[in-house]
Each structure stands twice: as structure tokens, then as C-alpha cells.
Chain A
Amino acid sequence: EPEVTQTPSHQVTQMGQEVILRCVPISNHLYFYWYRQILGQKVEFLVSFYNNEISEKSEIFDDQFSVERPDGSNFTLKIRSTKLEDSAMYFCASNSPMNTEAFFGQGTRLTVV
């Protein structure tokens, strides 16, 4: 069964460093998303991406964040100058017009120290 794949599963970074979280969505999907879940809290929408551009973003998704689809398969989230409060689980998701549900990756746990 096709699945969304995220790498790495766990990333530890120093405060102020840049990190890139990687995702490989399901191959025939057209819509891509990043979500964030701070430990013990609810899942929050960050950004949606369609047709090679951001279609919607939340208030959380400020200039510190950027997304890119550098080739036909990868979808990345870049976080510049990381802060302690960026520590969270980051989920990538994708879906197609044929699906009602979004398929989530297994998540990347980001720890900023």
C-alpha cells in the first residue's frame, strides 16, 4: 500500500541552526501539507501546497518557514534559525482529488536544544 514517507524520524538541532525536514508524498497525489504537533497538544496546520505553490498557510507559518518541491517526488519543510519552541512532531500529508482523507507520514520529531 502506498504511503507517505518522512525523513529523518528524529532530528536534534542546536538553537539557531537551520533544518530541512523531508517528505515523499504518495506518487499520484497533488496536494501536500505540513502539520505540527507540540508534545501533548493538538495537531496544527502549517501550510498547504498545490501546483508548485503555497495555496494556504497558517499564522504559525511565518518567514522562518519555507516549503519546496525540488523535484517530482520530494516535499521539504525548511525551518531557519530554529528556536526552542520549534521542538515538535512535524507531519507531512498528501491527498488527491480522488481521496477524501489526507494520508499522513509517520512524522519527524524535531528537538531544538
Chain B
Amino acid sequence: AQKITQTQPGMFVQEKEAVTLDCTYDTSDQSYGLFWYKQPSSGEMIFLIYQGSYDEQNATEGRYSLNFQKARKSANLVISASQLGDSAMYFCAMSSNAGGTSYGKLTFGQGTILTVHP
């Protein structure tokens, strides 16, 4: 079974500063994917970034980067130059490529509420 743990219920950051949101995972699968989604107060789920278990380089997407440490089973999200619009709930999630159901079946963590202060 897969498990995602996000130990930070809430985080605060000053505008324009960088912030790291923690995520650890547990799986017995050899091939898996790690994702971060943003959920603003309006409720939709917005995909941010993906890291494959065999990717040697950390993923980056604009101001988002994923600090992937496979041996530690961690996949922390780093947001650089925080903006007020970054205030939202952030979910770490993982998938398995086993079973052929593609990457859509996700196991989510509990989420971290990020608040960006002006």
C-alpha cells in the first residue's frame, strides 16, 4: 500500500520569499510518480509538478521545484519568490504504474495550508 505524509498542517511565508513544503512517502513499488497539486479556496485541483521515480534530475516548473530524495523517500515542494496568489492548500500525491491503470490513481497526503503574507 502507498502512503503519503505531509507533516505541516500550515505554513506561513513572506511575499517574495521561498518556502519548502514537506512530503514523505512510502511504497513498495519500483516505478511510481510523485505529484503536487494546489487547491485554492475556490476548490479546484491544479496540477503543479511531477517527478518520476526514475528521473535523476529534480523536476522544475517555473517557480516550483521538487526536491526529490529517493533514499529518504521525500519529495518536498519548493516555491520560490512567493506571491499572494500562492496562498492555498497544497497536496502531495503519488501514483503507481503497476497494474496498468496509468498515473491517474493517486494517493494524497493530508495537505498543507500555505499563507503568504504581504
Residues of A within 8 A of B (CB): 30-33, 35, 41-45, 48, 50, 55-56, 89, 91, 93-97, 99-107, 109
Contact = CB atoms under 8 A, between A and B. Distances in A.
The secondary structure that dominates the A interface is: strand
Nearest to A55: B101
Interface of B: 33, 35, 37, 42-47, 50, 52, 91, 93, 99-111
Contacts, number: 71
A45 B44 contact: no
Contact of A100 (B43, B44, B103): B103
B45 A91 contact: yes
A4 to B, nearest CB: 10
Given A95-B104, A104-B45, 16 more contacts: A30-B102, A31-B104, A33-B105, A42-B110, A42-B111, A44-B108, A45-B105, A50-B102, A55-B99, A56-B99, A56-B101, A93-B104, A97-B102, A102-B103, A104-B44, A107-B43
